[in-house]
Amino acid sequence: MQYQWIDGIMLFIKLMEVFILKKNFEYILFDLDGTLTDSGEGITKAVQYALKYFGIEVSNLDDLRKFVGPPLKESYKNFYGFDDEKADLGLVKFREYYIEKGIYENKMYSGISEVLEKLQKSNKKIIVATSKPEEHAKIVLNHFKIDKYFDFICGADFKETRVKKGDVIKYALEEAKITDLSKAIMVGDREHDIIGAKENNLKSVGVLYGYGDVVELTQARVDYIAKEPKDLLEILL
């Protein structure tokens, strides 16, 4: 009960800041998993499949929700103590399942298409910046028919040399030739989205309908909070 009360106060403060700190952003960078689409089922099943290869049985997919969002290789290391070689093999096994089935075990959050359409009509430059491999991101966006809203789709490479969120955001800024960082903002659902934005001197929006919560996002020093997709328009327009 005490934590719920504290969460409520933190959320109220962040929502009030929307009206106090609002700026005119021209470039909107979006995370993908947990921000545009709810990809939890496909990702957790692919991780479950990969872990089973290593003799690790996880029956409850909720125990693998922590894999949604952060770079996969780092998650293998952090949560299961994999070394580089084992984590690389884990990526291979993950993709075996994900490419065939998991990429489609996914759903777009209600209201996202309308948000993207309004941003586009307001002449915003809309960019995806995801730790998911770039080619996978393109497949997902095309599947949901929202790729038409994005000026740039930027993600990790298959060799995982560009996978940390700060590196992906830097790459997206370079691809879009954004030099005035005060005109750009990052939207994501997890702390690594917020930390990556700060590493690149960007403001950030944390969404609460994904896989993070107000405590995680606030501790990462998020600038704005959106409870639902429609709330993004109050911040971004």
Just list the catalytic residues: 31
C-beta separation of 37 from 21 below 8 A = no
Kindly write down the DSSP assignment for every residue of 154-170, as one continuous string.
EEE-TTSSS-SHHHHHH
Q: Rounded to whole angstroms, what are the CA distances from 173 to 30, 108, 137, 233? A: 12, 25, 17, 22
